[in-house]
Amino acid sequence: GLALAGTSKEENLQLSFIDHSGKVVIPVPYKIINPRFINGLTYFGIEKNGTRKYGFIDRTGKTIIEPVYDKVEEIISSSAKDLGKVIAFKVKSGELWGLISSDIVIKPAFSEIAAFREGLASASTGTGEQQKYGFIDTKGNWIIQPLYDEVNDFAYGLASVRIGGMLDGKWGYIDTNGKMVIEPQFRYAYNFLGNIALVQRGNGKAIIDRTGKVLVEE
């Protein structure tokens, strides 16, 4: 319902968010601003001590978060239902990432972070060969400790996780309590869709149930 527009007078650009009639709804005192609101928020940038810092405003123009972040990235949904939809913002301070959405603010404390799925978000500590993944709650607390070399989001109460290297590691599944319910044994394991999931097994693919039993194999 809003569009970013600008007018200039003697090289001074004045930005505003306008409505469908062209009426200014939110005057914008910044030269750098994201042109669309996502779940009621958008971010702006200012030059501060020779570097650019980012903060957030709401749809009234009120500053919700002061400009303290070094970088902002949009997290895009990859699900078939919401393909391409922005679902949250990643924010970076120094080398660490946090997450911001309409009702969640997690300060940068992780080497990587993803959007929340089924109440949990994957996050990691360390970098390179020392990087390990687990899952956090909406306050940034570890619910599932960072023990895994790679993880996928939760779907239908289960998440696939890898233990070991990218080439020789094995994938299994954990539940939301962190219990390994299907032992690591697959070359790759996709998200569950209801009671079934696709996995790569040996040189082919298979469909398994929630106990890990192979239902169909090529």
pLDDT digits (tens, 9 = 90+) for 24-63: 999 999 989 999 898 899 999 999 788 999 999 999 999 9
Contact of 133 with 146, CB cutoff 8 Å: yes
Residue 50, H or E segment: none
Which residues does 28 contact at the CB level (< 8 Å), separation at least 6?
A: 4, 14, 15, 16, 17, 44, 61
What phi and psi, each to the nearest 5 degrees, are found at residue 139?
-100, 0
DSSP state of 77: P
End-to-end CA distance of the chain: 50
pLDDT at 94: 95
What is this structure's pTM?
0.88
Q: Is the pLDDT at 80 greater than 80, yes or no?
A: no
Strand partners, 54: 45, 69
Q: Give which of 171, 177, 176, 179 is closest to 208, Cα–Cα.
A: 171
Q: What does the chain come to in residues? A: 218
Q: Is the pLDDT at 74 greater than 80, yes or no?
A: yes
Q: Is the pLDDT at 83 greater than 80, yes or no?
A: no
- The token duo for 98 is 């946090």
pLDDT at 79: 65
SS (H, E, C) 28-68: ECCCEECCCCECCEEEEEEEECCEEEEEEEECCCCEEEEEE
Give CA–CA dist 191/207, Å, rounded.
11
pLDDT at 76: 84
pLDDT digits (tens, 9 = 90+) for 136-167: 999 999 999 999 999 999 999 999 999 999 99
pLDDT at 81: 66
What is the Cα Rg of the chain in Å? 21
C-alpha separations of 148 from 110, 129, 145, 163 in Å:
15, 11, 9, 6
